[in-house]
Amino acid sequence: MASTCIVGSMKRPIVPRITVITLGVEDLERAVAFYRDGLGWPTQGIIGSEFPDGAVAFFSLAGGLQLALWPRASLAKDAGVRPGHPNPAELSLGYNVLESSAVDEIFAIAVAAGAAPTKSPGPTFWGGYAAYFQDPDGHLWEIVFNPDLLPAA
């Protein structure tokens, strides 16, 4: 059931979805290389360089979701906030897999690509299996086998 918000005198449902996740990065070329070359995710590369603060890279993910990489300073300027020091504990991105052995495999690929391991693969207190790493800009990723939240094959 969708939530309802009041816009003026109209009630309109707010559809629960996320279509783009934008990560602020310090070095756009380095970040693109990590996701494209290290993790093997497809992208058209950096676009929008002809615009001030416009350089960005998009990665098409499963389910229609887009991952955008944008320089932190450009993202802060666009959002109207002051850039600050990133804190990796503010957000984690989850990558759920179909079997626990995939956690080990993906974790090894990410670390070989330059990710900083923060928690080695192992059983979780809730009955799953997981690991954490940080990408080159410190964004926290969880690779997880959660039998209750299996992704579409």
| Res. 11: pLDDT tops 80 | no
Rounded Cα distance, 107 and 88, in Å: 18
pLDDT tier for residue 46 given thresholds of 50, 70 and 90: very high
Domains 18-78 and 90-153 share a fold: yes
| Res. 18: pLDDT tops 90 | no
Q: Which residue has the higher pLDDT, 86 or 32?
A: 32
Question: Can you say how many angstroms the Cα of residue 109 is from the centroid of all Cα atoms in its chain?
Answer: 16
Domain borders along the chain are 18-78, 90-153
Fold of 90-153: 2,3-Dihydroxybiphenyl 1,2-Dioxygenase; domain 1 (3.10.180)
pLDDT in tens, 114-151: 999 999 999 999 899 999 999 999 999 999 999 888 77
Nearest to 95 by CA among 82, 74, 109, 76: 109
- CATH number for the domain formed by residue range(s) 18-78: 3.10.180.10
Cβ neighbours, 10 Å, residue 64: 8
- What is the reported pLDDT for 9? 62
| Res. 6: pLDDT tops 60 | no
Question: Can you say how many angstroms the Cα of residue 131 is from the centroid of all Cα atoms in its chain?
Answer: 15
Rounded Cα distance, 71 and 28, in Å: 6
pLDDT in tens, 51-104: 999 999 999 999 899 999 999 999 999 988 998 888 888 889 999 999 999 999
- What is the reported pLDDT for 151? 74
| Res. 35: pLDDT tops 60 | yes
Rounded Cα distance, 140 and 85, in Å: 15
Could you tell me the pTM of the whole model? Answer: 0.84
